[in-house]
Structure 1
Amino acid sequence: MTGRHWRWVWMACALLTALPAAATTLIVEAALDQDIFEPVLRAFQQANADIQIDYRDRSTIDVEQRARASDDPPDVVISSAMPWQVALSNDGLAQPLTTPEAQQWPQWAKWRNEVFGFTFEPIVIAYRLELAAAMPPPSTHRDLLDILTHYRQQLDGKVVSYSPYSSGIGDMLFQQDARYTPRMWDLVAAMGAANTDFRGTTRSMLEGLTAGRYWLGYNLLGSYALVWAQRHPEIIVQVPNDYSLVMMRTALIHRNARHVDAARRFVNFLLSKEGQFVMAGETPLFSVRPDVIGPYTAQRLRDEVGDHLYPIPVDATLLAFVDPLRRQSFLKRWNRELKILRQPAD
């Protein structure tokens, strides 16, 4: 090869080296509103310029179905439906993360180093100011049962909660309620008598409260409700004073992830001090780490609410909630207490 040819080869190699490397596209299936989560996504991309995120914001049911589909698997799966996430891991659809952050993550917030709870979100009651003018606003589950019983006509059609049919988080919360209060089925019966509407998302419940269709919402995600109430002063958010469930968004790396390195970096960022700092300061998702300071941290929530927070642990007990026979039995009683013969529509 002549010197001239070598010169052309050298120039071609130099041009190829100068071209920016093609960014990896990380596919994230998530039951987490993108506008809430955007500060975290932005911070991750600023620290990882070689990764682009294809963020697919869906319902808990859609996320679970897509995680189980054999074609086009996601890299990372995020959901508030904690039992379904643990079930995905138990069925072999997750892979472990073994970074120092993962190894040191609290045991109550992870499962097999595969499913990681990275937020700490209270479950709340929300109501309109009109309700407070017409009746004592509820601050406990007993209060809620009392007003549904004694003010049933005024509340007829004006109460909303999650549907255990169309929402994985809704199903989990009502089943958790059954663990913590012996009056849960009385409460469900009272909701049925008041012609309660059942929806698939906290957002749709909040929109209905703002529009005046509802006066009272039960078992809403506090992370969404607290931010909503800041912009809509007609809505009051109450963390129940007897017990308040706390759920965690969980993240896992899919077994068939096509971009494993990017997926590991992303989930590790959610657990890192940097990622948790963004969650505590720029989102209402409440960080888990005790070494993070900000307006939305688990420790600050505990300081404000007291000792009646009941975090739902990420452990094997969650698998019972997705057992087909148990779920069938739960929904059968749900329908009997509500006195409905068909599946509630979202």
Structure 2
Amino acid sequence: MIRLLFLLLLALAPRPSPAQEAAARFGTGDTRLLVRSTTDIAILRPVMERFAASNPDLALHYEQWGSNALFAQSRAACRGEAAPADAVLSSAVQQMVWLVNAACAAPYRSPATAALPEARRWRDELWGITTEPAVIVYNKAAIAGDEVPRDRFALLDMMRSRPDLLRGRIATYDIADSGLGFLFAHADSLEATTFGSLLEGFARIDAVATCCSAEIIRGVAEGRYLMAYNVLGSYVLAAADTAEVGMVLPEDYTLVLSRGYMIPKEAAAPAAATRLLEFLLSPEAQEMMARAGLVTTLDAAESGLTPSARRFIALSPALLVARDASRRAALFQLWDDSFRPETAAP
């Protein structure tokens, strides 16, 4: 009987599809709310648990996806070729802007959404719920003091002067596998002063393009990597063991991301999805996400980052350029020239 009970519980447990990375359920209400997200369940779990406790009529099904797989699934759902989610939350906001532009989203407006800065809302169909900087992380035992690069120019100098130390031991996102990685690379490419030099430097020291945030940060903590570039700071703060990991907001400029929240036009429970949106924008949830590292004030006194060094990635039609086929092909070619298959991590 115990074995049968175990098998029954196993059968009832949420199982990720091949494209999903994980799944969880919160609440036991009669109304099902399906959320597909690129945010790790572990990071958002307290927020989702609090929402479920405050909305006992809902059963929230949370699916964690990779950004590219989530984008493909959302496009298929928009075409009527797959089951839609009730809410989509993604860090690859260029993909979210594309979905909204393709008429895949339902509109919604409230005092909370209208109060968002313009950079964090678009057409009352896409809303940014977080503020997260892209940072440089480093292993404190290997790099310390004046050796720590505080901006991209210092990072370039370090790659030129200490190639033997850094060879094969700087990591970043693989833009082919990570929509977020592609977004950051695209944003960097608009900063003409350092982008080309960075790619040349990465090529010279056999830098590693890999996936994903947790793996990269773990690699830095363990010393497999000495440094990582353009990693979301929220994942560094949320990591379980970061005693050996230092974090720098690049002083020349720091990219700041706001994860995009969208309600698909074919959502089965749009009212529940708007309730979740309202909660995520509430002071209570924003405070909870701040403790998880998902909301950063970037106050100059605390961060040391001047207002002119902050590069907010706005939710706007400008991000459609990142989906332009010719632009993407050119960026992928530059990337492939720097991160060749034989030097990339499996």
Matches of 1:257 and 1:23, distance apart in 2: 16
Aligned to 2:161: 150
SS of residue matched to 1:254: coil
- The yes-or-no answer on 1:198 pairing with 2:209 is yes
The code of the aligned residue for 1:189 comes to: E
Aligned to 2:112: 101
Aligned to 2:69: 62
Choose which of 280, 284, 292 in structure 2 pairs with 1:283. Answer: 292
Deviations 1:38-74 (A, max 9, x none): 1211121121111111101111112111212222111
State the superposition RMSD in angstroms. Answer: 2.1
Change (3 A) 1:300 1:227: farther
Task: Give, in angstroms, the shift of residue 339 of structure 1.
Answer: 6.8
- The yes-or-no answer on 1:340 pairing with 2:309 is no
Q: TM-score, normalised by structure 1?
A: 0.85
| Structure 1 segments unaligned to the other structure (5+ residues) | 1-20, 287-296
Matches of 2:345 and 2:267, distance apart in 1: 34
Contact 2:152 2:250 in 1 (8 A): yes
| Structure 2 segments unaligned to the other structure (5+ residues) | 1-27
Task: Find the structure with the greater CA-based Rg.
Answer: 1
Q: TM-score, normalised by structure 2?
A: 0.85
Change (3 A) 1:81 1:302: farther
- Identity of paired residues, percent? 29
The within-5 A match list for 1:165-176 is 165-176=176-187
Contact 2:43 2:238 in 1 (8 A): no
Choose which of 193, 197, 214 in structure 2 pairs with 1:186. Answer: 197
Structure 1 stretches (4+) deviating beyond 3 angstroms?
Answer: 299-303, 339-346
Task: Give, in angstroms, the shift of residue 129 of structure 1.
Answer: 2.1
- The yes-or-no answer on 1:80 pairing with 2:80 is no
Change (3 A) 1:242 1:299: closer
Aligned to 2:188: 177
Contact 2:105 2:125 in 1 (8 A): yes
Task: Give, in angstroms, the shift of residue 113 of structure 1.
Answer: 0.7
Deviations 1:74-97 (A, max 9, x none): 111111001000001001111111
Task: Give, in angstroms, the shift of residue 340 of structure 1.
Answer: 3.2
Aligned length: 313
Deviations 1:230-263 (A, max 9, x none): 7322111111111111111110001111111111
Aligned to 1:126: 137
Contact 2:39 2:90 in 1 (8 A): yes
Matches of 1:300 and 1:45, distance apart in 2: 32
SS of residue matched to 2:142: helix
- Name whichever of 232-241 and 314-323 sits farther off: 232-241
Matches of 1:93 and 1:343, distance apart in 2: 39
Matches of 1:51 and 1:343, distance apart in 2: 48
Change (3 A) 1:160 1:85: same
Aligned to 2:278: 268
The within-5 A match list for 1:239-278 is 239-278=249-288
SS of residue matched to 1:124: strand
Aligned to 1:214: 225
Choose which of 8, 21, 32 in structure 2 pairs with 1:25. Answer: 32
Matches of 2:342 and 2:320, distance apart in 1: 26
